[in-house]
Structure 1
């Protein structure tokens, strides 16, 4: 069930509205509220769709930069995540219908929009009984969204107060991981693209070494041409590995690096074109295009839809 919900101004964490009808005596709710408060102070640093999970509860939140708001909810650990994000999305849409970004920016005091609390309470009651939800809740679409772009998984340590980069919990705690380095979890398609590129890297490396060392290929080549073809195979192998690196890591100018790497791979493929059959050519180009698409697609996955109503 939905235990708690609140809306904050994303730029500075000012609370705009919160549920007042909740069991504040439950230890897990009180503990979760502490982390909700800590999260609110770092909303401008965190990705736009995140999850923090503990043994007793789950915190989901989404941020809508154009409207400068973040919607946060605390759920029972057994409550389906897809319904939790459906709840956040509906609350966000309702809020945007009633208030615009100028009103949000003009708010000075905490809980300026407490009249919206009745809407929060109504949505909480609706989602308290998942079986009674009507068809307006498009669970299938949200399930697909979460499969294609899973929320960032953050840990309690990522939002704990710090002094000099060390956790406030104790003077010898681990260094906090910079939020910018958080990685979006890979879906099955991303893992498939990485696996295909590993295969391509091994195949190109093996073929390149064979061409350079022995010249065992199916056409007559001069020594110079043999070296050129071998170098092209070896470079393609390195580009495959670098694309996997880009897929898994945060990097400056990642989009530009991805485009350049993909183009260079295509050029190397053209150099070795006559040494492959159509099946091999198709496989290598498909692997290149797939991982390029996944890398570029993931760059925008931390942005939730911009609703203008």
Structure 2
């Protein structure tokens, strides 16, 4: 049957899916071809702006413009002119509906899933060519395709000559060098500010100790303790702001360093000062533990 089976909108630079038709196609052949669509989505930026690829009984067609690609999967008997007219309509509607700043800053997959409503309506129209009224546009597209045919992508170009299960390319890993964390909370901001305050107090006392060392030859180990406390507090702020490997373990080690430095400085601080520094360190450690990496949606890698 000559129909459009699936369509999606993808950000070209990283393959992030922005929207897609919510079809529940049970045909195993279609599901298998969709896997090729996912692989293709990760290479869109390296390909020409209008391409087609054949896989079994299906064709995968796409066009790219302004950093966004519009991909569709159809039966191999579906006319190319209709396929690219369909993609052209998706493109015109998407770029007029959404601003580029929002497209470029999107983090989660399917951030514009509501665009599926337009995809479904357009797909229904193009699956029934007799209902199409854009005859002039079809003629224009026919001429354009004849003058500039779509680039034919081979499976070898995608490293798929042996099938999808033999690929060695890594799966899509995301778009940020650091793992994104959950949004800031008021308690987290307060803990970060208090940690900065403790770091500042330690730094000031450290410089005073340096002056005393130059004048009275005081113990240099106190200076080291003050600067270690400063480093630990600043590192807790860093751990709160950025996602890194072994983040929770590093926060506990930083808290331990804060406790050790204050234990060594117990003769230079009263009980309330010690309590304040240790409590702030514990509070910051708790906030680091509570601010976890953002969970990905179940279909993030789909």
Whether the 8 Å contact between 1:38 and 1:160 is mirrored in structure 2 is no
Distance in 1, matches of 2:27 and 2:163, equals: 26
Tell me the CA shift for residue 25 of structure 1. Answer: 1.1
Larger Rg: 2
1:62-211 equivalences under 5 Å are 62-64=63-65, 67-135=66-134, 138-160=137-159
CA distance in 2, matches of 1:105, 1:88: 20
Contact 1:51 1:61 in 2 (8 A): yes
The verdict on how the C-alpha distance between 1:154 and 1:137 changes in structure 2, with shifts beyond 3 A counting, is same
Unaligned runs of 5+ in 2: 169-302
Distance 1:96 1:77 in 2: 28
Question: Against the structure 1 CA distance between its residues 108 and 52, is the aligned structure 2 distance closer, same or farther, given a 3 Å change threshold?
Answer: same
Correspondences of 1:1-309 after superposition (within 5 Å): 1-20=3-22, 22-64=23-65, 67-135=66-134, 138-160=137-159
Question: In the superposition, relative to structure 1, how do residues 103 and 92 fare at CA in structure 2: closer, same or farther (>3 Å)?
Answer: same
Shift of 1:137: 6.0
Partner Cα separation in structure 1 for residue 164 and residue 117 of structure 2: 37
TM-aligned CA deviation for residue 169 of structure 1: 6.1
Q: Is the 8 Å Cα contact of residues 160 and 166 (structure 2) preserved in structure 1?
A: no
Is the CA contact 1:23–1:29 (under 8 Å) kept in the aligned structure 2? no
Q: Do the aligned residues in 2 keep the contact of 1:86 with 1:137 (CA within 8 Å)?
A: no
Per-residue displacement from partner, 1:84-128 (whole Å, max 9, x unpaired)? 000000000000110121111010000000011100001001101
Report what 2:202 is aligned to: none
Alpha-carbon RMSD:
2.3
Distance 1:48 1:96 in 2: 16
Separation of aligned partners in 2, 1:56 and 1:134: 28
- Three-state SS of the structure 2 residue aligned to 1:155 is coil
CA distance in 2: counterparts of 1:91 and 1:53, whole angstroms = 21
Structure 1 unaligned spans of 5+: 174-309
Following TM superposition, the consecutive aligned residue runs of length 4 or more in structure 1 with deviations greater than 4 angstroms are: 166-171
Cα deviation, residue 27, structure 1: 1.8
Q: CA offset at residue 7 of structure 1?
A: 0.4
Q: CA deviation at 1:157?
A: 2.3
SS in 2 for 1:58: strand
- Distance apart, 1:168 and its partner CA: 7.8
| Cα distance in structure 2, aligned partners of 1:3 and 1:114 | 17
Report the Cα distance in structure 2 between the residues aligned to 1:11 and 1:147, rounded to whole angstroms.
28
Deviations along 1:286-306, one digit per CA (max 9) or x if unpaired, are xxxxxxxxxxxxxxxxxxxxx
Contact 2:35 2:164 in 1 (8 A): no
**SS state at 1:4 partner:** strand
Q: 1:169 to 1:31 in 2, by over 3 A?
A: closer
- Cα distance in structure 2, aligned partners of 1:169 and 1:91: 31
Q: Structure 1 residues 28, 124: CA separation in 2 closer, same or farther (over 3 Å shift)?
A: same
Spell out, residue by residue over 1:15-37, the C-alpha distance to the aligned partner (whole angstroms, 9 max, x if none). Answer: 000000x2421122111210110
